[in-house]
Amino acid sequence: MIPALLLQAGVPLLARWLGQALGGIEHPAAKAASKSLGEVGEAIAAERIDPEQLAAAQRHLEEMTKIDGENYRATLAEVNATARIEAQSDDPYVRRMRPTFGYVMAITWAAQMAAIAWAIVATPKDAAQIVEALGALSLMWSVGLSVLGVYVYKRSADKAVSAGVTPPEAAIATIAKILKR
Give per-residue pLDDT as tens, 62-120: 888 888 888 888 888 888 887 777 767 677 776 677 788 888 989 999 999 999 999 99
52-63 pLDDT, tens digit per residue, is: 888 888 888 888
Task: Enumerate residues 6+ apart whose C-beta is below 8 A from 89.
Answer: 95
Confidence at residue 91, expressed as pLDDT on a 0 to 100 scale: 72
Q: So what's the pLDDT on residue 65?
A: 82
Specify the higher pLDDT residue, 151 or 31: 31
Higher pLDDT, 11 or 76: 76
Please determine, for residue 48, whether its predicted confidence score (pLDDT) is greater than 50: yes
Judge contact between 108 and 145, C-beta under 8 A: no
Degrees to nearest 5, angle at CA 91 with 85 and 93: 105
Q: What is the mean pLDDT of the chain?
A: 81
Residue 168: pLDDT band (50, 70, 90) is low
Domain boundaries, given as residue ranges, for the chain? 1-88, 92-181
Residue of 131 and 41 predicted with greater confidence: 131
pLDDT at 116: 93
The CA distances from residue 72 to 59, 64, 77, 111, 154, in Å, are 20, 12, 9, 41, 19
Find the angle CA(75)-CA(68)-CA(71) to the nearest 5 degrees.
Answer: 25
Which residue, 75, 108, 101, 109, is CA-closest to 155?
A: 101
Q: Which residue has the higher pLDDT, 179 or 141?
A: 141
- Phi and psi angles of residue 49, each rounded to the nearest 5 degrees, phi first: -105, 135
Looking at residue 1, its pLDDT comes to 45
More confident residue, 171 or 134: 134
- How large is the angle between the packed helices 92-122 and 138-162, nearest 10 degrees? 140
SS (H, E, C) 42-98: HHHHCCCCCHHHHHHHHHHHHHHHHHHHHHHHHHHHHHHHHHHHHHHCCCHHHHHHH
Average pLDDT of span 158-165: 72
**Which whole number is the average pLDDT over 115-129?**
94
Q: How far apart are CA 172 and CA 176, in angstroms?
A: 6
